[in-house]
Structure 1
């Protein structure tokens, strides 16, 4: 099986050397590589252009729309490989990453495969975000966050796809600046395609390194999720609604207390705080990371819930 590797990039000067060296040196060597750049001006393109002499299998494509789904849709029709592997510059990969992907396709018969999203070691805040986003309290029962899960599932992180499936279910929906992977994978399941997660496919993701960027990231996840679920109802899970209802509860809490004058209305908030403390301090991490994790939980839950609310209003406004 020949593979094509697609890598959407934008302002990646801090990461471009690592991802370039990996994709060039990893087996199999007979592969084609596409870097799809969204208009970088930080030295990323200069670095790549200086490396073009390394082989004619390296291609650089300009992405005028900047978004990931547009980058993928531009490139997938150009790919000549039987398998298309998407990489992210902010992620590290094991040396046998491509080989494990090929073997998983052969062994499982799946049309889409991938590995769980392991968290790379970084700053204390990045480590805390990693703890929060790999716990059931943080993100529910999403299997690609659990590094020991092996089997068929409804979505994988990044992923690799048999090229033939795009003729059957189409390309990515460019409406989704976030959640485009979820939407595509739910659509694949809806059309009877099989997705398999193999923990032997090892990759390590670097989380955001600021509260502000984390908030924006999860707000955007929530913003596009209602549209994803309406388009592909088979992807619905209760976990998608819990942050939405939690934020609604927080918004009406002052009114509830004003009218009922009862401490009982604080029970859901008290329960949330207890669970936050438990899941922050039960992990084997240092005290600083435990405290930071305690702050991360409400950020990802509230930002996602707010995004979900705005996403619903956006859909209602569009349909009115």
Structure 2
């Protein structure tokens, strides 16, 4: 294994630099017991009772030749997440828990990183299932490319008709715009990747995740990684199964918040305002303006304002037709849900972008 994966931690790395249990392959101390560097998987969780056990099992089932640990940052939940996390930690000594009293995703990630013992940090969420060989391949790609962060495909999988429609929308250019980590593509440098496997020294040097970004913190971190002259690398060899939201309301709330925090990314980094990210707010303005004009005509304003109905009607017709065509291979219930799912993603994202973030916003699920 390349010695670059056995880097020495900076001296100012929180209290971790004084941890006597720190992996020798990270600290440059005594000879490691394996050629493979130790890996710390970090998982922020809040309100994840439905998928947590499955997500943890996916980590512990990894066949990795080196040392592997899982650090779970447990936020305040309204369900049995904390109870399940304690049981899982009691059943396997590789699982360690840290408290995340604030409950936000970036705070939990940073707490887990600070508690991690190893020089490679792999992120996974409480509703994500690592594919077989994910950790091993992540380490191999880090070595092969010299990248600071490597990631792969977010493979959305649903069980109900609605969830299958959401999963399809995630992987469709009509849904989330065709990013490689959604639809796949050739390996190579990328602006951002899904989750990621990081070199710990880079995370420490950059200060970890920016806790201001309650959402979009992964995109923001990858931006800083690239700005520091490091590389973010996409490979289709890595896949994480993702469990989508289970209701239209939850989906709308998710993408409203996504849009809000994407606006904050653009505010802080104006050069990130690409057409792909500006399309949803432009669409939301067009649909809202057309609807308002049409309503005004109905209320007795100038009759020509009725032409405004063309915009929302055209959008609805277009998304229904396109959804039924691209989703023609979906099961009946999923296909029926697809137009509503696409419209919810587009308009919620757009509305959130126009609103901007509310600083007290805290997601019920990372």
TM-score by length of 2: 0.79
CA separation in 1, counterparts of 2:93 and 2:243? 30
Give the C-alpha shift of residue 275 in structure 1: 4.7
Q: CA deviation at 1:52?
A: 3.6
1:155 is aligned to 192
Distance 1:262 1:41, change over 3 A: closer
| Structure 2 unaligned blocks of 5 or more | 1-36, 360-366
Q: Which residue of 1 aligns with 2:174?
A: 137
The count of residues paired between Structure 1 and Structure 2 equals 314
Q: Are the counterparts in 1 of residues 129 and 241 from structure 2 also a CA contact under 8 Å?
A: yes
In 1, Cα distance between equivalents of 2:122 and 2:260: 27
Shift of 1:110: 1.1
- Asked if the contact 2:291–2:308 (Cα under 8 Å) also holds between the matched residues in 1, the reply is no
Q: State how 1:305-316 maps to structure 2 within 5 Å.
A: 305-311=350-356
Aligned residue number for residue 233 of structure 2: 196
What does residue range 221-260 of structure 1 map to in structure 2 within 5 Å? 221-254=258-291, 256=293, 258=297, 259=302
Alpha-carbon offset, residue 281 of structure 1: 2.4
Partner of 2:19: none
1:274 to 307, 311, 318: 318
Does the alignment pair 1:35 with 2:80? no
Matched residue, 2:28: none
1:102 and 1:260, CA in 2 relative to 1: closer, same or farther beyond 3 A? Answer: farther
Counterpart in the other structure of 2:129:
92
* 8 Å CA contact retained: 2:122, 2:197: yes
Conserved 8 A contact 1:280-1:294: yes
After TM superposition, the structure 1 = structure 2 runs for residues 14-163 of structure 1, keeping only pairs within 5 Å, are 14-28=50-64, 30-40=67-77, 42-163=79-200
- The question of whether the paired residues in 1 share the 8 Å contact of 2:319 and 2:343 is answered with no
Structure 1 counterpart SS, 2:70: strand
What secondary structure sits across from 2:113 in the alignment? helix
Counterpart CA distance in 1 for 2:174 and 2:150 is 26
1:260 CA drift (Å)? 7.0
Structure 2 contact 76–102 (Cα < 8 Å) conserved: no
Distance change >3 Å, CA 236–CA 190, structure 1 → 2:
farther
Q: Equivalent residue of 1:207, what SS? A: coil
Separation (CA, whole Å) in 2 of partners of 1:275 and 1:10: 34
Distance in 1, Cα, partners of 2:84 & 2:304: 63
1:261 counterpart (294, 297, 304): 304
Greater C-alpha Rg: 2
RMSD: 2.3
Give 3-state SS (helix, strand or coil) of 1:199's partner.
strand
Report the more deviating stretch, 64-73 or 48-57.
Answer: 48-57
Report whether the alignment pairs 1:290 with 2:327.
Answer: no
Which region of structure 1 is more displaced relative to structure 2, 142-151 or 221-230? Answer: 142-151
- The 3-state SS of whatever aligns with 2:195 is coil
Query: d(CA) in 1 for partners of 2:96 and 2:50?
Result: 20
Q: TM-score, normalised by structure 1?
A: 0.89
